[in-house]
Structure 1
Amino acid sequence: MRVSASLLAAVFGILLSSAAQAAEPTLTVYTYDSFISEWGPGPAIQKQFEAQCHCKLTWVGLEDGAALLSRLKMEGKKTKADVVLGLDTNLTSEAAATGFFAPAKVDVSKLKLPVAWNDKTFVPYDYGYFAFVYDSQKLPNPPKSLAELTAPGDQPKILLMDPRTSTPGLGLLLWMKEVYGDKATEAWAKVAPKVLTISKGWSEAYGLFVKGEAPMVLSYTTSPAYHQINEKTDRYKALDFPEGNYLQVEVAARMASSKHADLAEQFLAFLTSPEVQKLIPTTNYMFPVVDIGNDLPAEFRNIPQPQKTLLMPSDEVAKHRHAWIREWLETVSR
């Protein structure tokens, strides 16, 4: 059978394209759902990284950061993850103890964080402060302190997250421990009647909040900036408590079992690049870990800094986390 030269060229081109695609490695990144939502930073990061890495970036989304650690413990060294993005400082010691993670080669000496960073494995990519966010149209007189929030009485309903599956939920658990110590269970007992629901992750709870299901939700001091930038409203506000607000530093790390170690390192370094850090404020609505100058939106420059920064050492969290969660469960389920 005679075959035209143009047909041969077309077939040859398809084969070359298929071979090139087959040769491209795939980097699998486990993260939380909101990071890779259409409004999150994930889509833009994927586009930019794939343009320079000659690879395919695949996301696996879970409900929240705490769920990431649980998934990794279940999968063990057989995990398909090359990189995990979305753990935070409350989980890094426990995560490191698994032996699943490899030290990073990324230079973090020039990162700007509210706390000193000495961890050799986990690479920070953003940070923020937990806060209670309220709807000022429905709640003109919100609680002015954590003490007022935890005082007995008929107060507005609150939306919270489960500390077993959610990093904000765990953050609140530790926030209460930092402020109340051994009396945290007493404070939780006073808060429990005010809780409308406890969701698995932040996205679900915040979605209920903006739908008007409750006038208060556990979120971040930066959350109102989202509404100011995208909806041109200052209706939603964050509370700055005199007892302090709990700090969250979100991190990424390379899996020791990854077959694409160099590519994973390239991705970790990319997370701290100006290109990605400029995305963080208006997509993940957290503070960047590098100075992005005038690229930091005015709405972020106007966010009040907490009167006191609260942060528990990661090794202390690892030592007590499960016991404190059991204590919390016993209290809120009464």
Structure 2
Amino acid sequence: MKANVWLPLSCAALSFSLAAQSPAELTIYTYSSFVSDWGPGPALTPLFEEQCDCTINWVGLDDGVSILNRLKLEKGNSKADVILGLDTQLMQETRALGAVQDFELSLPTLAFDWTETDFVPFDYGYFAFVYNTETLENPPSSMADLLDNFEGKVIYQDPRTSTPGQGLMLWMKSIYGDQSDAAWKKLATKTVTVTKGWSEAYGMFLKGESDLVLSYTTSPAYHVVAEQDERFAAALFSEGHVAQIEVAAVSANSEQTELANQFLSFLISEPAQAIIATTNWMLPVNPQAELPEAFSQLIQVKDIPVDSNQAAEMRQTWTKEWRNALSL
């Protein structure tokens, strides 16, 4: 009789022991290119899992704006532990959802001043139109030149679903203000298509479906380092360029906050930053990260400052203006 009782108890204890030894799982919402075969995710995963004794569950969505839209749909029931891939223009709206909490880590000296206590920057870059120097000899030298004189074709991303698309919207507003409606209509005459996200747009450009694609000043470094291809360049605009700072945060719903903070600390470490720079092809926020020589050859741009609070307040209005100009 005792033997019959002992066996189930032993099995239950063994089962509990095995469960207790199972590594914790960290769920990270991000955008699809971050976890693609050529993105940072696959390279970062084994490095972090080795130090945390955990497993990462990546959830790849179309783009940064798509991450925000997912959080809105989940209405406080998100399964994410870490939210990675929003940018500074989306922080206010994300906070308003109650979707994040303050981080608990010490930031290293960054490439720029940072005072936020809930979002951690992990890379940054400047929006630019990229072109193939062998097929386009005279790229536009300004936004005005693009809109008024350029005779080629352009692909860019939808500001409703894409942070680069949203970046172009801010770029347009910064230069044209109340005249942005007319500017969008001019751009529409040169636009092949507006894609949902960056990957689709850039892929179409590489297939020769446009002369220009909205991307980043850092994009040519990818072709030089990864492909030994020096054909691609970013057009330098005399009005200046708008920056994007990408951020990550601990989800307000996370039950793995210690692990989530550990991941954020890892994300801005020198090894992770070097990986991000040469797989996400953005500039590292940690200036101690080692970079290939190709990064020193990038165009040096004039920064157009953007008021993040105003951008958050006006995003829907400006998006509607864009839609009306294109009759979407």
TM-score bracket relative to the smaller structure: over 0.9
Q: What displacement does 1:109 show?
A: 5.3
Does residue 145 of the first structure (1) align with residue 142 of the second (2)? yes
Query: 1:212 is aligned with what amino acid?
Result: G
What letter matches 2:300 in structure 1?
A: Q
- Once the two structures are superposed, the pairs formed by residues 33-44 of structure 1 within 5 Å of their partners are 33-44=32-43
- Aligned counterpart, 2:167: 171
What amino acid is the match of 1:33? Answer: S
CA RMSD in angstroms, aligned pairs only: 1.7
TM-score, normalising length: structure 2: 0.92
Pairing partner for 1:287 from 283, 288, 302: 283
Q: 1:302 — aligned with what?
A: 297
In the alignment, the residues of structure 2 paired with residue 285 and residue 311 of structure 1 have an alpha-carbon distance, to the nearest angstrom, of 22
Distance between the aligned counterparts of 1:323 and 1:305, measured in 2?
A: 32
Alpha carbons of structure 1 residues 17 and 276: separation in structure 2 relative to 1, 3 Å: farther
Alignment partners' CA distance in 2, 1:16 and 1:292: 46
Give the SS at the match of 2:126: strand
Letter paired with 2:114: W
Establish whether residue 213 from structure 1 lines up as the match of residue 209 from structure 2. Answer: yes
Q: Is the 8 A contact 1:94 1:315 kept in 2?
A: no
**Alpha-carbon spacing, 1:18–1:137, altered in 2? closer, same or farther (3 Å):** farther
Quote the sequence identity (%): 49
2:5 corresponds to? none
Deviations 1:117-148 (A, max 9, x none): 11111000000000000111221111111111
Q: How does 1:221-232 map to 2 (within 5 A)?
A: 221-232=217-228
Q: Which runs of 5+ in 1 are unaligned?
A: 1-11
One-letter amino acid matched to 2:229 = T
Partners in 2 of 1:70 and 1:311 — Cα distance?
26
Aligned-residue offset at 1:106: 2.5
Counterpart-to-counterpart distance in 1, 2:82 and 2:131: 35
Partner of 2:272: 276
The 5 A counterparts of 1:15-26 are 19=18, 23-26=22-25
Partner of 2:93: 94
Find the aligned partners of 1:58 and 1:311 in 2 and give their Cα distance: 36
User: How far 1:96 sits from its partner (Å)?
Assistant: 1.1
Structure 2 unaligned segments of length 5 or more: list them: 1-10
Aligned counterpart, 2:79:
80
The question of whether the paired residues in 2 share the 8 Å contact of 1:209 and 1:216 is answered with: yes
Matches within 5 A, 1:1-334: 19=18, 23-108=22-107, 110-113=109-112, 116-151=113-148, 155-292=151-288, 295-306=290-301, 308-333=302-327
CA distance in 2, matches of 1:315, 1:162: 21
What is the letter of the counterpart of residue 116 of structure 2? D
Deviations 1:157-211 (A, max 9, x none): 1011000000000000000001111111111111111000000000000000111
Query: What is the alpha-carbon distance in structure 1 between the residues aligned to residue 150 and residue 308 of structure 2?
Result: 35
Q: Distance in 2 between matches of 1:261 and 1:233?
A: 42
How much does 1:16 deviate? 8.3
What TM-score results when the alignment is normalised by the length of structure 1?
Answer: 0.91
Quote the Cα distance in structure 1 between the aligned partners of 2:21 and 2:305: 46
Given that residues 76 and 98 in structure 2 are in contact (C-alpha distance below 8 angstroms), is that contact kept between their aligned partners in structure 1? Answer: no
1:296-315, Cα deviation, whole Å (9 max, x unpaired): 11000121220x21231221
Change (3 A) 1:232 1:76: same
Q: Aligned letter for 1:259? A: E
